[in-house]
Structure 1
Protein backbone atom coordinates (compact mmCIF):
# COMPACT_ATOMS: atom_id res chain seq x y z
CA UNK A 1 0.00 0.00 0.00
CA UNK A 2 2.81 2.42 0.87
CA UNK A 3 4.49 1.88 -2.47
CA UNK A 4 1.25 2.80 -4.23
CA UNK A 5 1.51 6.48 -3.22
CA UNK A 6 2.64 8.37 -6.33
CA UNK A 7 2.38 11.92 -4.95
CA UNK A 8 5.75 13.64 -5.24
CA UNK A 9 7.21 11.12 -7.68
CA UNK A 10 8.57 12.12 -11.07
CA UNK A 11 8.00 9.93 -14.13
CA UNK A 12 10.79 10.59 -16.67
CA UNK A 13 9.67 11.36 -20.17
CA UNK A 14 9.98 13.68 -23.15
CA UNK A 15 6.32 14.25 -23.91
CA UNK A 16 4.73 17.56 -24.83
CA UNK A 17 3.49 18.04 -21.26
CA UNK A 18 6.93 17.26 -19.82
CA UNK A 19 8.38 20.04 -21.97
CA UNK A 20 5.84 22.68 -20.91
CA UNK A 21 7.00 25.57 -18.76
CA UNK A 22 6.51 24.60 -15.08
CA UNK A 23 4.61 27.83 -14.45
CA UNK A 24 2.09 26.82 -17.10
CA UNK A 25 1.68 23.38 -15.52
CA UNK A 26 1.23 24.80 -12.03
CA UNK A 27 -1.38 27.34 -13.17
CA UNK A 28 -3.14 24.70 -15.30
CA UNK A 29 -3.33 22.32 -12.35
CA UNK A 30 -4.87 24.98 -10.11
CA UNK A 31 -7.39 25.94 -12.79
CA UNK A 32 -8.34 22.28 -13.26
CA UNK A 33 -8.79 21.76 -9.51
CA UNK A 34 -10.91 24.92 -9.25
CA UNK A 35 -13.02 23.81 -12.19
CA UNK A 36 -13.92 20.58 -10.37
CA UNK A 37 -15.59 22.62 -7.62
CA UNK A 38 -17.61 24.54 -10.21
CA UNK A 39 -19.12 21.35 -11.66
CA UNK A 40 -22.84 20.95 -10.92
CA UNK A 41 -23.72 17.66 -12.62
CA UNK A 42 -22.22 14.55 -14.18
CA UNK A 43 -22.01 16.21 -17.60
CA UNK A 44 -19.44 18.58 -16.13
CA UNK A 45 -17.45 15.67 -14.72
CA UNK A 46 -17.62 14.09 -18.17
CA UNK A 47 -16.00 17.19 -19.70
CA UNK A 48 -13.34 17.24 -16.95
CA UNK A 49 -12.67 13.52 -17.39
CA UNK A 50 -12.19 13.88 -21.14
CA UNK A 51 -9.80 16.80 -20.61
CA UNK A 52 -7.82 14.83 -18.00
CA UNK A 53 -7.74 11.70 -20.19
CA UNK A 54 -6.29 13.72 -23.08
CA UNK A 55 -3.63 15.20 -20.77
CA UNK A 56 -2.69 11.73 -19.49
CA UNK A 57 -2.48 10.37 -23.03
CA UNK A 58 -0.25 13.27 -24.14
CA UNK A 59 2.00 12.95 -21.07
CA UNK A 60 2.58 9.24 -21.88
CA UNK A 61 2.45 8.42 -18.16
CA UNK A 62 0.91 4.95 -17.81
CA UNK A 63 -2.69 5.14 -16.62
CA UNK A 64 -2.03 2.19 -14.28
CA UNK A 65 0.68 4.24 -12.57
CA UNK A 66 -1.74 7.12 -11.95
CA UNK A 67 -4.61 4.86 -10.85
CA UNK A 68 -2.24 3.15 -8.42
CA UNK A 69 -2.03 6.44 -6.55
CA UNK A 70 -5.75 6.14 -5.72
CA UNK A 71 -5.27 3.00 -3.63
CA UNK A 72 -3.95 4.76 -0.48
CA UNK A 73 -7.00 7.08 -0.39
CA UNK A 74 -9.51 4.31 -1.12
CA UNK A 75 -10.69 4.33 2.51
CA UNK A 76 -11.23 8.10 2.38
CA UNK A 77 -13.25 7.76 -0.83
CA UNK A 78 -15.25 4.88 0.67
CA UNK A 79 -15.89 6.84 3.89
CA UNK A 80 -17.04 9.91 1.93
CA UNK A 81 -19.24 7.73 -0.29
CA UNK A 82 -20.87 6.03 2.72
CA UNK A 83 -21.48 9.25 4.67
CA UNK A 84 -23.14 10.96 1.71
CA UNK A 85 -25.19 7.87 0.83
CA UNK A 86 -26.71 7.36 4.29
CA UNK A 87 -26.82 10.92 5.65
CA UNK A 88 -28.70 12.66 2.84
CA UNK A 89 -32.46 12.91 3.13
CA UNK A 90 -34.73 12.34 0.17
CA UNK A 91 -36.61 9.64 -1.70
CA UNK A 92 -35.90 6.32 0.03
CA UNK A 93 -34.64 3.54 -2.24
CA UNK A 94 -33.54 0.95 0.34
CA UNK A 95 -34.32 0.92 4.06
CA UNK A 96 -31.87 -0.85 6.39
CA UNK A 97 -33.40 -0.41 9.82
CA UNK A 98 -32.53 3.05 11.11
CA UNK A 99 -30.39 3.69 7.99
CA UNK A 100 -31.83 4.48 4.60
CA UNK A 101 -30.30 4.86 1.16
CA UNK A 102 -31.95 7.72 -0.69
CA UNK A 103 -31.84 8.65 -4.33
CA UNK A 104 -30.34 12.04 -3.49
CA UNK A 105 -27.81 10.41 -1.15
CA UNK A 106 -26.66 7.96 -3.82
CA UNK A 107 -26.35 10.83 -6.28
CA UNK A 108 -24.27 12.91 -3.85
CA UNK A 109 -22.10 9.91 -2.93
CA UNK A 110 -21.16 9.18 -6.54
CA UNK A 111 -20.74 12.91 -7.21
CA UNK A 112 -18.28 13.44 -4.32
CA UNK A 113 -16.37 10.22 -5.07
CA UNK A 114 -15.83 11.32 -8.68
CA UNK A 115 -14.65 14.73 -7.51
CA UNK A 116 -12.08 13.20 -5.15
CA UNK A 117 -10.81 10.79 -7.81
CA UNK A 118 -10.38 13.56 -10.40
CA UNK A 119 -8.71 15.81 -7.80
CA UNK A 120 -6.07 13.20 -7.00
CA UNK A 121 -5.46 12.18 -10.61
CA UNK A 122 -5.30 15.79 -11.81
CA UNK A 123 -2.82 16.89 -9.15
CA UNK A 124 -0.67 13.78 -9.73
CA UNK A 125 0.04 14.84 -13.32
CA UNK A 126 1.85 17.96 -12.03
CA UNK A 127 4.49 16.09 -10.03
CA UNK A 128 4.70 13.12 -12.41
CA UNK A 129 5.50 15.35 -15.40
CA UNK A 130 7.66 18.00 -13.68
CA UNK A 131 11.15 17.65 -12.26
CA UNK A 132 11.49 18.79 -8.62
CA UNK A 133 14.02 21.53 -9.49
CA UNK A 134 11.74 22.83 -12.27
CA UNK A 135 8.81 22.79 -9.86
CA UNK A 136 10.84 24.85 -7.38
CA UNK A 137 11.77 27.42 -10.04
CA UNK A 138 8.19 27.61 -11.28
CA UNK A 139 6.72 28.21 -7.81
CA UNK A 140 9.41 30.79 -7.06
CA UNK A 141 8.71 32.69 -10.29
CA UNK A 142 4.98 32.71 -9.61
CA UNK A 143 5.54 34.00 -6.06
CA UNK A 144 8.24 36.53 -7.03
CA UNK A 145 5.78 39.49 -7.42
CA UNK A 146 5.00 39.16 -3.70
CA UNK A 147 8.64 39.72 -2.74
CA UNK A 148 8.00 43.44 -2.62
CA UNK A 149 5.63 42.76 0.27
CA UNK A 150 8.30 40.84 2.17
CA UNK A 151 7.32 37.32 1.14
CA UNK A 152 10.35 34.98 0.90
CA UNK A 153 9.29 33.38 -2.37
CA UNK A 154 12.42 31.29 -2.88
CA UNK A 155 12.36 29.86 0.64
CA UNK A 156 8.66 29.01 0.38
CA UNK A 157 9.15 27.35 -3.01
CA UNK A 158 12.12 25.37 -1.69
CA UNK A 159 10.19 24.15 1.38
CA UNK A 160 7.17 23.05 -0.66
CA UNK A 161 9.31 21.25 -3.22
CA UNK A 162 11.44 19.49 -0.59
CA UNK A 163 8.25 18.36 1.17
CA UNK A 164 6.89 16.90 -2.08
CA UNK A 165 10.24 15.42 -3.05
CA UNK A 166 10.73 13.54 0.20
CA UNK A 167 7.25 12.05 0.47
CA UNK A 168 8.30 9.00 -1.63
CA UNK A 169 11.61 8.78 0.27
CA UNK A 170 9.91 8.67 3.68
CA UNK A 171 7.34 6.19 2.43
CA UNK A 172 10.08 3.93 1.14
CA UNK A 173 11.87 4.24 4.50
CA UNK A 174 8.62 3.34 6.30
CA UNK A 175 8.24 0.28 4.09
CA UNK A 176 11.80 -0.84 4.91
CA UNK A 177 11.23 -0.42 8.66
CA UNK A 178 7.95 -2.35 8.49
CA UNK A 179 9.59 -5.24 6.61
CA UNK A 180 12.50 -5.29 9.07
CA UNK A 181 10.13 -5.45 12.05
CA UNK A 182 7.93 -8.08 10.38
CA UNK A 183 11.05 -10.20 9.88
CA UNK A 184 11.53 -9.97 13.66
CA UNK A 185 7.98 -11.13 14.36
CA UNK A 186 5.98 -7.90 14.34
CA UNK A 187 2.38 -8.20 13.16
CA UNK A 188 0.76 -5.25 11.37
CA UNK A 189 -2.13 -7.02 9.65
CA UNK A 190 -4.09 -9.00 12.27
CA UNK A 191 -6.51 -7.63 14.83
CA UNK A 192 -9.09 -4.88 14.70
CA UNK A 193 -8.49 -1.30 13.59
CA UNK A 194 -7.39 -0.11 17.05
CA UNK A 195 -4.90 -2.99 17.42
CA UNK A 196 -3.44 -2.27 14.01
CA UNK A 197 -3.04 1.39 14.92
CA UNK A 198 -1.21 0.47 18.15
CA UNK A 199 1.06 -1.88 16.20
CA UNK A 200 2.19 1.06 14.07
CA UNK A 201 3.44 3.06 17.10
CA UNK A 202 6.86 1.28 17.17
CA UNK A 203 7.39 2.58 13.62
CA UNK A 204 7.37 6.21 14.72
CA UNK A 205 10.68 6.31 16.62
CA UNK A 206 12.89 4.79 13.88
CA UNK A 207 10.98 6.78 11.25
CA UNK A 208 11.59 10.08 13.07
CA UNK A 209 15.26 9.20 13.50
CA UNK A 210 15.53 8.39 9.80
CA UNK A 211 13.74 11.63 8.85
CA UNK A 212 16.12 13.73 10.98
CA UNK A 213 19.10 11.90 9.46
CA UNK A 214 17.85 12.62 5.93
CA UNK A 215 17.25 16.27 6.85
CA UNK A 216 20.77 16.53 8.31
CA UNK A 217 22.32 15.00 5.19
CA UNK A 218 20.35 17.36 2.99
CA UNK A 219 21.38 20.42 5.03
CA UNK A 220 25.03 19.33 4.93
CA UNK A 221 24.88 18.80 1.16
CA UNK A 222 23.33 22.26 0.65
CA UNK A 223 25.99 23.89 2.83
CA UNK A 224 28.77 22.03 0.99
CA UNK A 225 27.45 23.57 -2.25
CA UNK A 226 27.43 27.05 -0.67
CA UNK A 227 23.66 27.36 -0.79
CA UNK A 228 22.58 30.73 0.63
CA UNK A 229 18.95 31.01 -0.35
CA UNK A 230 17.53 33.05 -3.19
CA UNK A 231 19.71 36.15 -2.82
CA UNK A 232 21.78 36.76 -5.97
CA UNK A 233 21.07 33.22 -7.13
CA UNK A 234 21.57 32.48 -10.81
CA UNK A 235 20.26 29.62 -12.94
CA UNK A 236 21.96 27.61 -15.64
CA UNK A 237 18.70 27.19 -17.57
CA UNK A 238 16.41 30.19 -17.77
CA UNK A 239 12.63 30.12 -18.16
CA UNK A 240 10.82 31.45 -21.20
CA UNK A 241 7.36 30.85 -22.56
CA UNK A 242 7.22 29.21 -25.98
CA UNK A 243 4.54 28.47 -28.57
CA UNK A 244 3.53 25.20 -26.92
CA UNK A 245 2.90 27.09 -23.66
CA UNK A 246 0.61 29.52 -25.48
CA UNK A 247 -1.22 26.58 -27.06
CA UNK A 248 -1.59 24.96 -23.63
CA UNK A 249 -3.07 28.18 -22.18
CA UNK A 250 -5.47 28.42 -25.11
CA UNK A 251 -6.66 24.81 -24.65
CA UNK A 252 -7.01 25.39 -20.90
CA UNK A 253 -9.07 28.54 -21.50
CA UNK A 254 -11.35 26.71 -23.94
CA UNK A 255 -11.84 23.87 -21.46
CA UNK A 256 -12.66 26.27 -18.61
CA UNK A 257 -15.09 28.31 -20.71
CA UNK A 258 -16.86 25.16 -21.95
CA UNK A 259 -17.21 23.94 -18.36
CA UNK A 260 -18.59 27.29 -17.16
CA UNK A 261 -20.95 27.41 -20.15
CA UNK A 262 -22.26 23.91 -19.40
CA UNK A 263 -22.60 24.48 -15.64
CA UNK A 264 -24.12 27.96 -15.44
CA UNK A 265 -25.61 28.85 -18.81
CA UNK A 266 -26.93 25.72 -20.55
Structure 2
Protein backbone atom coordinates (compact mmCIF):
# COMPACT_ATOMS: atom_id res chain seq x y z
CA UNK A 1 0.00 0.00 0.00
CA UNK A 2 2.98 2.36 0.48
CA UNK A 3 3.56 2.20 -3.29
CA UNK A 4 0.07 3.50 -4.12
CA UNK A 5 -0.66 7.19 -3.64
CA UNK A 6 -3.55 7.84 -6.00
CA UNK A 7 -6.86 7.32 -4.22
CA UNK A 8 -5.39 7.42 -0.70
CA UNK A 9 -6.22 10.02 1.92
CA UNK A 10 -3.69 11.19 4.49
CA UNK A 11 -5.38 13.21 7.28
CA UNK A 12 -3.57 16.38 8.24
CA UNK A 13 -3.84 20.00 9.31
CA UNK A 14 -1.75 21.67 6.62
CA UNK A 15 -2.55 24.65 4.40
CA UNK A 16 -3.53 22.34 1.54
CA UNK A 17 -5.68 20.12 3.79
CA UNK A 18 -7.62 23.18 4.99
CA UNK A 19 -8.44 24.38 1.47
CA UNK A 20 -11.96 24.06 0.16
CA UNK A 21 -12.24 20.86 -1.93
CA UNK A 22 -13.93 22.85 -4.70
CA UNK A 23 -10.86 25.08 -4.96
CA UNK A 24 -8.58 22.04 -5.06
CA UNK A 25 -10.66 20.42 -7.79
CA UNK A 26 -10.65 23.59 -9.88
CA UNK A 27 -6.91 24.03 -9.33
CA UNK A 28 -6.08 20.46 -10.33
CA UNK A 29 -8.24 20.49 -13.47
CA UNK A 30 -6.87 23.91 -14.38
CA UNK A 31 -3.32 22.69 -13.80
CA UNK A 32 -3.93 19.75 -16.17
CA UNK A 33 -4.71 22.29 -18.90
CA UNK A 34 -1.97 24.75 -17.96
CA UNK A 35 0.76 22.10 -17.93
CA UNK A 36 0.46 21.75 -21.72
CA UNK A 37 1.69 25.33 -22.11
CA UNK A 38 5.18 24.23 -21.06
CA UNK A 39 7.52 23.55 -23.97
CA UNK A 40 11.05 24.53 -22.87
CA UNK A 41 13.50 24.28 -19.99
CA UNK A 42 12.28 27.42 -18.23
CA UNK A 43 8.58 26.50 -18.29
CA UNK A 44 9.21 22.92 -17.16
CA UNK A 45 11.43 24.20 -14.35
CA UNK A 46 8.56 26.43 -13.23
CA UNK A 47 6.19 23.42 -13.22
CA UNK A 48 8.62 21.40 -11.11
CA UNK A 49 9.00 24.34 -8.73
CA UNK A 50 5.22 24.71 -8.30
CA UNK A 51 4.89 20.96 -7.67
CA UNK A 52 7.62 21.03 -5.01
CA UNK A 53 6.04 24.10 -3.41
CA UNK A 54 2.66 22.35 -3.13
CA UNK A 55 4.43 19.29 -1.70
CA UNK A 56 5.98 21.47 1.02
CA UNK A 57 2.62 23.09 1.79
CA UNK A 58 0.98 19.66 2.08
CA UNK A 59 3.94 18.33 4.14
CA UNK A 60 4.19 15.13 2.11
CA UNK A 61 7.54 13.36 2.14
CA UNK A 62 9.38 13.19 -1.21
CA UNK A 63 10.18 9.50 -0.59
CA UNK A 64 6.46 8.80 -0.30
CA UNK A 65 5.80 10.43 -3.69
CA UNK A 66 8.73 8.62 -5.31
CA UNK A 67 7.39 5.27 -4.07
CA UNK A 68 3.98 6.26 -5.41
CA UNK A 69 5.46 6.81 -8.89
CA UNK A 70 6.84 3.27 -9.06
CA UNK A 71 3.63 1.75 -10.54
CA UNK A 72 3.84 4.19 -13.50
CA UNK A 73 7.63 4.00 -14.01
CA UNK A 74 7.16 1.62 -16.95
CA UNK A 75 4.82 4.09 -18.66
CA UNK A 76 7.28 6.93 -18.01
CA UNK A 77 10.18 4.95 -19.48
CA UNK A 78 8.11 3.79 -22.47
CA UNK A 79 7.02 7.37 -23.24
CA UNK A 80 10.60 8.59 -22.92
CA UNK A 81 11.98 5.91 -25.25
CA UNK A 82 9.19 6.49 -27.76
CA UNK A 83 10.15 10.14 -28.17
CA UNK A 84 13.86 9.37 -27.88
CA UNK A 85 13.98 7.10 -30.94
CA UNK A 86 11.13 8.43 -33.09
CA UNK A 87 11.56 12.20 -32.83
CA UNK A 88 14.01 13.24 -35.56
CA UNK A 89 14.80 16.86 -34.74
CA UNK A 90 18.04 18.70 -34.03
CA UNK A 91 21.59 17.35 -34.21
CA UNK A 92 22.36 13.62 -34.38
CA UNK A 93 23.81 12.52 -31.03
CA UNK A 94 24.14 8.74 -31.39
CA UNK A 95 23.61 6.12 -34.10
CA UNK A 96 23.68 2.35 -34.11
CA UNK A 97 22.16 0.62 -37.12
CA UNK A 98 18.60 1.85 -37.56
CA UNK A 99 18.56 3.36 -34.06
CA UNK A 100 19.28 7.07 -34.00
CA UNK A 101 19.08 9.56 -31.17
CA UNK A 102 18.64 13.22 -31.99
CA UNK A 103 18.96 16.20 -29.70
CA UNK A 104 15.29 17.06 -30.18
CA UNK A 105 14.20 13.51 -29.38
CA UNK A 106 16.21 13.46 -26.14
CA UNK A 107 14.86 16.84 -25.10
CA UNK A 108 11.27 15.97 -25.99
CA UNK A 109 11.48 12.62 -24.18
CA UNK A 110 12.68 14.31 -20.98
CA UNK A 111 9.98 16.99 -21.25
CA UNK A 112 7.14 14.51 -21.75
CA UNK A 113 8.35 12.30 -18.88
CA UNK A 114 8.48 15.35 -16.59
CA UNK A 115 5.02 16.44 -17.72
CA UNK A 116 3.53 13.02 -17.00
CA UNK A 117 5.22 12.74 -13.60
CA UNK A 118 4.09 16.25 -12.58
CA UNK A 119 0.51 15.46 -13.62
CA UNK A 120 0.46 12.22 -11.61
CA UNK A 121 1.89 13.89 -8.51
CA UNK A 122 -0.31 16.98 -8.68
CA UNK A 123 -3.53 14.98 -9.17
CA UNK A 124 -2.47 12.70 -6.32
CA UNK A 125 -2.29 15.72 -4.01
CA UNK A 126 -6.07 16.04 -4.42
CA UNK A 127 -6.86 12.62 -2.99
CA UNK A 128 -3.99 12.68 -0.46
CA UNK A 129 -5.27 15.88 1.17
CA UNK A 130 -9.05 15.55 0.65
CA UNK A 131 -11.40 12.98 2.17
CA UNK A 132 -13.68 11.01 -0.20
CA UNK A 133 -16.77 12.63 1.35
CA UNK A 134 -15.38 16.13 0.72
CA UNK A 135 -14.54 15.21 -2.89
CA UNK A 136 -18.09 13.92 -3.40
CA UNK A 137 -19.61 17.12 -2.01
CA UNK A 138 -17.29 19.30 -4.10
CA UNK A 139 -18.04 17.44 -7.34
CA UNK A 140 -21.78 17.58 -6.68
CA UNK A 141 -21.73 21.33 -5.99
CA UNK A 142 -19.59 22.12 -9.04
CA UNK A 143 -21.84 20.02 -11.29
CA UNK A 144 -25.02 21.32 -9.68
CA UNK A 145 -26.06 23.41 -12.78
CA UNK A 146 -26.36 20.16 -14.76
CA UNK A 147 -29.37 19.20 -12.64
CA UNK A 148 -31.42 21.56 -14.79
CA UNK A 149 -30.99 19.16 -17.72
CA UNK A 150 -31.86 16.11 -15.58
CA UNK A 151 -28.28 14.88 -15.06
CA UNK A 152 -28.03 12.69 -11.91
CA UNK A 153 -25.28 14.82 -10.39
CA UNK A 154 -25.38 13.31 -6.89
CA UNK A 155 -25.19 9.72 -8.12
CA UNK A 156 -22.42 10.64 -10.58
CA UNK A 157 -20.35 12.32 -7.86
CA UNK A 158 -20.90 9.37 -5.52
CA UNK A 159 -19.75 6.87 -8.16
CA UNK A 160 -16.60 8.90 -8.89
CA UNK A 161 -15.77 9.15 -5.19
CA UNK A 162 -16.32 5.43 -4.59
CA UNK A 163 -14.16 4.60 -7.63
CA UNK A 164 -11.28 6.70 -6.28
CA UNK A 165 -11.63 5.13 -2.85
CA UNK A 166 -11.63 1.59 -4.26
CA UNK A 167 -8.30 2.02 -6.10
CA UNK A 168 -6.03 1.41 -3.06
CA UNK A 169 -8.45 -1.23 -1.75
CA UNK A 170 -8.28 -3.25 -4.98
CA UNK A 171 -4.51 -2.82 -5.19
CA UNK A 172 -4.19 -4.17 -1.66
CA UNK A 173 -6.45 -7.09 -2.57
CA UNK A 174 -4.33 -7.76 -5.67
CA UNK A 175 -1.18 -7.85 -3.56
CA UNK A 176 -2.73 -10.36 -1.15
CA UNK A 177 -3.91 -12.63 -3.98
CA UNK A 178 -0.49 -12.50 -5.67
CA UNK A 179 1.26 -13.50 -2.45
CA UNK A 180 -1.25 -16.32 -1.94
CA UNK A 181 -0.69 -17.59 -5.49
CA UNK A 182 3.09 -17.38 -5.12
CA UNK A 183 2.89 -19.29 -1.82
CA UNK A 184 1.14 -22.07 -3.78
CA UNK A 185 4.01 -22.22 -6.29
CA UNK A 186 2.70 -19.89 -8.98
CA UNK A 187 5.41 -17.92 -10.82
CA UNK A 188 4.16 -14.47 -11.89
CA UNK A 189 7.41 -12.63 -12.54
CA UNK A 190 9.67 -14.93 -14.59
CA UNK A 191 9.47 -17.08 -17.68
CA UNK A 192 8.25 -16.38 -21.23
CA UNK A 193 5.56 -13.76 -21.86
CA UNK A 194 3.06 -16.46 -22.85
CA UNK A 195 3.49 -18.33 -19.54
CA UNK A 196 3.32 -15.11 -17.53
CA UNK A 197 0.04 -14.15 -19.22
CA UNK A 198 -1.40 -17.56 -18.39
CA UNK A 199 -0.29 -17.16 -14.78
CA UNK A 200 -2.27 -13.92 -14.51
CA UNK A 201 -5.62 -15.68 -15.15
CA UNK A 202 -5.74 -17.33 -11.69
CA UNK A 203 -5.06 -13.85 -10.31
CA UNK A 204 -7.85 -12.05 -12.18
CA UNK A 205 -10.65 -14.50 -11.33
CA UNK A 206 -10.48 -14.13 -7.51
CA UNK A 207 -9.84 -10.39 -7.92
CA UNK A 208 -13.06 -9.91 -9.90
CA UNK A 209 -14.97 -12.11 -7.47
CA UNK A 210 -13.68 -10.05 -4.55
CA UNK A 211 -14.49 -6.76 -6.32
CA UNK A 212 -18.08 -7.83 -7.07
CA UNK A 213 -18.52 -9.05 -3.49
CA UNK A 214 -17.30 -5.72 -2.11
CA UNK A 215 -19.64 -3.86 -4.44
CA UNK A 216 -22.57 -6.03 -3.38
CA UNK A 217 -21.77 -5.52 0.32
CA UNK A 218 -21.56 -1.76 -0.21
CA UNK A 219 -24.88 -1.69 -2.07
CA UNK A 220 -26.54 -3.75 0.69
CA UNK A 221 -25.13 -1.45 3.40
CA UNK A 222 -26.39 1.66 1.58
CA UNK A 223 -29.83 0.11 1.07
CA UNK A 224 -30.10 -0.92 4.73
CA UNK A 225 -29.27 2.64 5.79
CA UNK A 226 -32.11 3.95 3.64
CA UNK A 227 -30.10 5.49 0.81
CA UNK A 228 -32.51 6.63 -1.93
CA UNK A 229 -30.31 8.95 -3.97
CA UNK A 230 -29.62 12.64 -3.60
CA UNK A 231 -33.23 13.83 -3.48
CA UNK A 232 -33.98 15.53 -0.15
CA UNK A 233 -30.56 14.77 1.36
CA UNK A 234 -28.74 17.33 3.51
CA UNK A 235 -25.06 17.69 4.38
CA UNK A 236 -23.61 17.48 7.87
CA UNK A 237 -20.37 19.15 6.74
CA UNK A 238 -20.83 22.49 4.98
CA UNK A 239 -18.14 23.71 2.60
CA UNK A 240 -16.81 27.22 3.15
CA UNK A 241 -14.79 29.27 0.67
CA UNK A 242 -11.90 31.28 2.17
CA UNK A 243 -9.30 33.72 0.94
CA UNK A 244 -6.72 30.93 0.62
CA UNK A 245 -8.96 29.24 -1.94
CA UNK A 246 -9.19 32.41 -4.01
CA UNK A 247 -5.42 32.81 -3.71
CA UNK A 248 -4.89 29.29 -5.12
CA UNK A 249 -6.91 30.14 -8.25
CA UNK A 250 -5.05 33.45 -8.60
CA UNK A 251 -1.77 31.52 -8.48
CA UNK A 252 -3.11 29.18 -11.17
CA UNK A 253 -3.93 32.08 -13.50
CA UNK A 254 -0.56 33.67 -12.75
CA UNK A 255 1.14 30.35 -13.56
CA UNK A 256 -0.71 30.19 -16.89
CA UNK A 257 0.40 33.73 -17.70
CA UNK A 258 4.04 33.04 -16.82
CA UNK A 259 4.16 29.82 -18.85
CA UNK A 260 2.55 31.55 -21.82
CA UNK A 261 5.08 34.40 -21.56
CA UNK A 262 8.11 32.08 -21.49
CA UNK A 263 6.91 29.76 -24.24
CA UNK A 264 9.43 29.47 -27.03
| Match runs of 1:1-266 below 5 Å | 4-90=3-89, 91-263=91-263
Contact conserved, 1:3 with 1:172, CA < 8 A, in 2? no
Distance 1:233 1:8 in 2: 25
1:5–1:168 Cα contact (<8 Å) kept: yes
**Number of residue-to-residue matches in the alignment:** 263
Q: RMSD in angstroms over aligned alpha carbons? A: 1.4
Worse overlay, 198-207 or 184-193 = 184-193
| Partner deviation per Cα, 1:70-91 (whole Å, 9 max, x = no partner) | 1111111111111111111133
TM-score normalized with structure 2 length: 0.96
Inter-partner Cα distance in structure 1 for 2:150 and 2:159 = 17
Deviation, structure 1 residue 255: 2.1
Output one character per residue of 1:197-229: Cα deviation in whole Å (capped at 9) or x when no partner: 221111111111100110011111111211111
SS in 1 for 2:135: helix
**Structure 1 runs (4+) greater than 3 angstroms displaced:** none
Q: For structure 2, list consecutive stretches of 5 or more residues without a partner in the other structure.
A: none
Task: State the 1:39 CA deviation.
Answer: 1.0
Which whole-Å CA distance do the structure 1 matches of 2:198 and 2:92 have between them? 40
Q: Deviation string for 1:15-41 (max 9, x for gaps)?
A: 010011100000000111111111121
Deviations 1:168-196 (A, max 9, x none): 00111111111111111111121133332
In the alignment, is the contact (CA less than 8 A) between 1:136 and 1:157 conserved in 2?
Answer: yes
The CA deviation string for residues 78-120 of structure 1, in whole angstroms up to 9 with x for no partner, is 1111111111113321111111111111111111111111111
Which blocks of at least 5 consecutive residues in structure 1 are unaligned? none
Instruction: Give the secondary-structure state (helix, strand or coil) at the position aligned to 1:101.
Output: strand
Task: Measure how far apart 1:3 and its partner are.
Answer: 5.1
> What CA deviation, in whole Å up to 9, does each residue of 1:137-183 have, x standing for no partner?
00111100111012111111111111110010011111111111111
- Return the TM-score normalized by structure 1: 0.95
